[in-house]
Structure 1
Amino acid sequence: MNMEALNPLELPDLGTVRVYIEAYKRSKVMRRIFPVVDTELFEETVSTAYKQSLSSLTYGQASARVCVMAFLTFVSRLPPVNEIVGEFPIAPIDHNMLATRVMFLMPQVLQETASLDSVQAMTMLTLFELSSGNMRALNYYAAVSARLIFMLGGNLNSDQTFIKDPRGRQKQEQLRNLFWICYTIDKDLALRTGQPPTITDENCDLTLPAGYLDRAFLDIEDDDAPFHGPVFPFDLRLSMIKARAHRELYSVSSFQKSDAELLKSIRELDDGLEEWRLSVPPKWRPTMSFSSETSDTNMSMHSVMLRLNYHLCMTIIHQASGRCKAWVQGQSGMMDGVSSSMALSVEASRSSLCYLEAAEHVVVDGVFWTLIFYPMSALLTIFCSILQNPLDPHSREDLERLNVATVMIDRIFSRKLPESEVEHFKLVADFILELKRLAECAIDKAWAEQRAGQ
């Protein structure tokens, strides 16, 4: 990239922007999952960004320009949007160039008053970095997004009946949409990185959006169905369970809990997760376990995300039982309860891999960084289980799962993988092969020692 030729104030061609706005409007699926802009309000943003001189900035214009560039950067990575854009004769978007321009303008944005444009920009950049696998930048953008939302009161569910101005109500509703996007990502990010969440439940009104439960399990992936409102990247109630799991099982204070307190938290979280599962309509409801013998006639990307997140929650809730002192010290009494909890964690991980393998035909291209965390988390849980119990009858089966997972992940994620991500994918594949090798060594060593001792 020629940095000298890079003009951070230069905006993309307005015609190209219009094409992507139209494509985003037409893709009801993406608007349901990623309500990153209100297309009507966004017209004002575009107007502000492109007015006056493009070689200088007036106050408030930096946020508008970054918002436009962030919009293009993110939505141009969405396959359904790109399918529609393909109908128009426009040049492809250079994500890296746009992202670099955004970085140059960031100091100006942060010096302006917090606005809907700045929140939208930061939220879209957060999503872009998530889809790009850039966890460092993702952390930064997610934190800034959260602070801007707090500044504007998006963490509160304001009674919109008191907002007389229709435009004001529209902006408040969009601000809450951005809050929920950031909330779900924040909870997922905390579990992925082990770092504390930026958005704490205690400081938020978590009243679900009006009509959310009625539309959350409609046919989300039907572009011909009427648009009833957003459903967001993750189930909001499941994100709340993730938040609670992190707070009660993985926060600094949770490490001070006694065995009894820890197991009590695990039981309560498990009850909450089961309550959520039973509230899901039968058509979409995840089964507690999934194997190659299980069938699901309703497979889709929506069901994949729902299942993977459910099994992830089951895993993270129950694997915390491994911290019990009774388990570590091999004491009797609590051992049975802890063992069954650990077994549930491993079974949930097996189910994740089995479902992903069964549903690989519905997994869309370009979701490597979005999905890879789930099978990797499952593989590590299974790997640790093998190391802990190499003589267990299931260990050989789990070893074969590691082998199958290597092939499955290659089939799913190597399809149309951008050249820039091939090296990352190779590292993942090599890591899984190393897990398999170490697990096999552990099993062989344990059996050899047992035979030698007989």
Structure 2
Amino acid sequence: MNPSEEPRKRTARACDSCYKRKIKCDAAEPQCNWCSHHNLPCTFDRVVQRKRKPDEEESSRPKASRLAERISRIEQLLAENLMRDPTSEGAMEVPPLSDLATNASNSPTSSNTSISQPIISSTVGVHFAGRELGVMSLMTGIPFLLPEGQQWIQARTGQTISSDKLSPARAPWEKERGQISNSILMDLRSQDLFSLPDQRSVMLYFNAYRNSPVMRRVFPLVDADLFAETIQEVYQQPQSSFQFGQASSRACVIAFLAFVARLPPVKNKTLDSPFSYVDHESLAVKSQFLLSQVMQEPASLEGAQAVSLMTLYEISSGNMRACNYFGALAARLVFMLGGNLLHSRTYLPSDRGKKKRQQLRNLFWVCYTMDKDIALRTGQPPTIADENCDLTLPAGYLEAAYDTPEDERISFSQPVFPFDLRLSIIKSRTHSALYSISALQKSDADLLKSIRELDDELEAWRLSVPSPYRPTMSFTPEAVDPNVSMHSVMLRLNYYLCMSLIHSASSRCKAWGQGNHGMMDGVNSSLALSVEASRSTLCYLEAAEHVLVDGVFWTLVFYPMSALLAIFCSILSNPLDPRSRDDLDRLRLATQMIQRIFERKLPENEMEQLKMVGEFVSELKRLAECSIDKAWSEQSATLMSR
């Protein structure tokens, strides 16, 4: 090289061709080895952004500022949602969400804004295809949109979104019962809050429960022999007095009657009796009143049963706020009694002691399955940590898990519990590996590795299910389930929910914005599986409509609603995809399906909630349709301009 010539300035060690093909470049001049053999121009034109490490003080200040601004926006939006809730005391008039978002994003002093409502700082991001659309409040479980999410939806649809419908003060699958409970408690002030219901009503419903294999297998909340002793003990106590140590047994009897009186299979067996009418709302409030005293007594099986019964009562009533508290309290009582251990010395090794020990273990599994389900519905982390539990399945569970519990000819033997125990364990591991605070810090590679491992675990579970009951990986409108029943409905809906949860986590991958084509193939496939699972949820629920029993609205509505949200995001992300029109039809039919399935099953005083669900789905449908129309119009205009 002539010393007078300036050396070629390169911005990278590999030439553009070698860098694009990810092969080693020898950087020879004037052409590298690869470009020379393939007769390609050897250029070094791309610019490499080199990161310089500035002083610690300088680098931390802008990062902290951005973080503070983002947290401020989230907190203000959360406070705005709480203040907009008409059921909250002292609700305040606040500016529209769009104005609040603008002020929060433009004001440099927004982090210092004083808000009279409690600030909620713990949130989990809601992602889709690499975009953070909003957050899930860890206090209420409500999904609502950040300004970025609003802007994305408005950009994709060309429409102004209705925040009251798309981001309501309460999740569509949650019922506000606070005022109802308060009114009932005020009415009960003139009565004895410690009084017991008529014993004849208790025995009527207890015998109906005891003679129903499906109820005893799905909800093994009491042992028939032990609970009969509890009833006898409670009603032998003087009704005019209430002594320390009696709250747990009384609360257990009252909570049992409140819960089973809501169950149609039990209630239908009592219709011919003059003692069949039970005001379960009043009983639930009375049981809640007693629970404050239960917490002052030593932990007991009766106390744990009372709180577990109230947890199930509240989740079947749609009151997620109360059931979140009760679920945590029930788990704590079960732990105090040693129910989380396969073997413990809580009870003497007599026949009665073994029966109590078995019932405590059944109660642990009920609490465990409900804990994982409540976490999904509320956005809060599970209360029960797997590392503190012996998760050995009950003896004989796998052999009996797929007997049809609806068949009244089957005698009570092995509980099957509200949800498949192994699916509940997979839900727990999914939260820990994909949605816990530590999981949010994972790299793309680690995140995809966890998704792959959980997917393998879920598939191993599916293949272990006997073929007559095995869920198909996808369910289409043309498919048929020959063994459809309420048991199979819960099995399949939870399988598709797990599939969606596992694969929707791929939306957090940074590869969406980095153009890493090799990784994007896997990310796209994972997200497609999540959306397909959501489609299957809607298709299967419609196919199983004829086997749904009364009173399942609050138990089931969470599944189609979460599926609809995933399908809505899929349409907005790919409005020109051939399947988007079919998905739009699913949104159109969803309101009719939900109304058709649940309207005849829902009490008259809860029809307002069904109306709110309908408005939520209608808003999703309207925006999705606008997105497709906008995309096709833009494509047509582009083609015509060429």
For Structure 1 versus Structure 2, the TM-score category normalised by the shorter chain is over 0.9
User: Are 2:484 and 1:302 equivalent residues in the alignment?
Assistant: no
**Deviation at residue 164 of structure 1 after TM alignment:** 2.4
1:118-151 per-position Cα deviation (integer Å, ceiling 9, x unaligned)? 0000000000000000000000100100110110
Distance 2:626 2:349 in 1: 69
CA deviation vs aligned residue, 1:60-86 (integer Å, no higher than 9, x gap): 211100000000000111111011111
Are 1:254 and 2:436 matched, yes or no? no
Backbone CA RMSD of aligned residues: 1.4
Correspondence 1:291 to 2:471: no
* Aligned counterparts of 2:458 and 2:374: Cα–Cα separation in 1: 19
Q: Which position in structure 1 is the counterpart of 2:79? A: none
Aligned partner (choices 505, 517, 535) of residue 350 of structure 1:
535
After TM superposition, list the pairs within 5 Å mapping 1:24-423 onto structure 2.
24-158=209-343, 163-423=348-608
Structure 1 counterpart SS, 2:566: helix
SS at match of 1:415: helix
| Other structure's SS at 1:138 match | helix
1:446 to 631, 634, 639: 631
Contact 1:48–1:61 at 8 Å: present in 2 too?
Answer: no
Contact 1:322 1:328 in 2 (8 A): no
Off by >4 Å, runs of 4+ in structure 1: 159-163
Contact (CA 8 Å) 2:338, 2:344: kept in 1 or not? no
Deviation for aligned residue 1:5: 1.9
Bigger radius of gyration among the two: 2
> What is the CA-CA distance between 1:452 and the residue it aligns to?
2.3
Deviations 1:262-290 (A, max 9, x none): 00000000000000000000010000001
Distance in 2, Cα, partners of 1:101 & 1:9: 8
Letter in 2 for 1:165: S
* 1:160–1:169 CA contact under 8 A, matched in 2: no
Describe the SS at the equivalent of 1:387: helix
- Equivalence for 2:173: none
Distance 1:322 1:370, change over 3 A: same
C-alpha contact 2:270 2:276 (8 A) present in aligned 1 = no
SS of residue in 1 equivalent to 2:577: coil
Greater CA drift, 292-301 or 368-377: 292-301
2:52 aligned partner: none
- CA displacement at 1:375 relative to structure 2: 0.5
Moved more, 222-231 or 349-358: 222-231
**What's the TM-score once normalised by structure 1's chain length?**
0.98
Shift of 1:161: 13
Report the residue type matching 2:224 in the other structure.
T
- SS of 1:414's partner is helix
Residue 239 of structure 1, CA deviation: 0.4
| C-alpha contact 1:49 1:62 (8 A) present in aligned 2 | no
Structure 2 distance, partners of 1:161, 1:145, is 17
Identical columns (%): 64
User: In structure 2, what is the Cα distance between the partners aligned to 1:416 and 1:307?
Assistant: 21
User: How far apart, CA to CA, are the structure 1 residues paired with 2:388 and 2:513?
Assistant: 36
Which amino acid in structure 2 is aligned with residue 280 of structure 1?
V
1:433 pairs, out of 618, 625, 641, with: 618
Q: How far apart are residue 56 of structure 1 and its match?
A: 2.3
Cα separation, 1, equivalents of 2:276 and 2:415: 30
What letter corresponds to residue 455 of structure 2 in structure 1?
Answer: D
**Do the aligned partners of 2:552 and 2:601 also contact (CA within 8 Å) in 1?**
no
**Contact conserved, 1:28 with 1:223, CA < 8 A, in 2?**
yes
Which amino acid in the other structure matches residue 439 of structure 1?
A
Partner of residue 156, structure 2: none
> Could you tell me how far apart the structure 2 residues matched to 1:226 and 1:379 are?
39
* Corresponding letter in the other structure for 1:361: H
Relative to 1, partners in 2 of residues 1:292 and 1:55: Cα closer, same or farther, differing over 3 Å? same
Mapped partners of 1:420, 1:130: distance in 2: 17
**In the TM superposition, what is the alpha-carbon distance from 1:159 to its structure 2 partner?**
6.3
Q: Secondary structure at the match of 1:199?
A: coil
Task: For structure 2, list consecutive stretches of 5 or more residues without a partner in the other structure.
Answer: 1-183
CA separation of 1:329/1:441 partners in 2, compared to 1, >3 Å: closer, same or farther?
farther
CA distance in 1, matches of 2:406, 2:276: 27
Q: For 1:47 and 1:61, locate their aligned partners in 2 and report how far apart those are by CA, in whole Å.
A: 13
Uncovered stretches (5+) of structure 1, i.e. residues with no partner: none
* Partner-residue secondary structure (3-state), 2:325: helix
Distance 1:212 1:109 in 2: 32
- Structure with bigger helix share is 1
Q: 1:445 to 1:247 in 2, by over 3 A?
A: same
- 1:10 Cα offset (Å): 1.1
Which amino acid counterpart does residue 189 of structure 1 have in structure 2? Answer: I
- Checking the alignment, whether the CA contact within 8 Å between 2:347 and 2:354 is kept in structure 1 is no
2: CA distance between counterparts of 1:118 and 1:416? 32
Q: Deviations over 1:396-443 (max 9, x none)?
A: 110000111111111111113112211111100110011100111111
Q: For each residue in 1:99-131, what CA deviation from the matched residue of structure 2 results, as whole angstroms up to 9, or x when unmatched? A: 111122122111000100000000000000000
> Aligned letter for 1:53?
P
* Letter paired with 1:440: E
Distance 1:423 1:449 in 2: 39
State the number of aligned residues.
Answer: 454
| Contact 1:131/1:370 (<8 A) preserved | yes
| Alpha-carbon spacing, 1:328–1:14, altered in 2? closer, same or farther (3 Å) | farther
TM-score (norm 2): 0.69
- 293-302 or 158-167, larger mean C-alpha shift: 158-167
Q: Give, in whole Å, the separation in 2 of the partners of 1:324 and 1:142.
A: 33
- Determine helix, strand or coil for the equivalent of 1:111: coil
Equivalent residue of 2:360, what SS? helix
Q: Which residue of 1 aligns with 2:197?
A: 12
Quote how far apart the aligned CAs of 1:163 are.
4.8
Change (3 A) 1:407 1:328: farther
* Cα deviation, residue 4, structure 1: 2.9
Counterpart Cα distance in 2 of 1:396 and 1:174? 51
SS at match of 1:124: helix
Q: Which amino acid aligns with 2:507?
A: G
Contact map agreement 2:251 2:287 (CA 8 A) in 1: yes
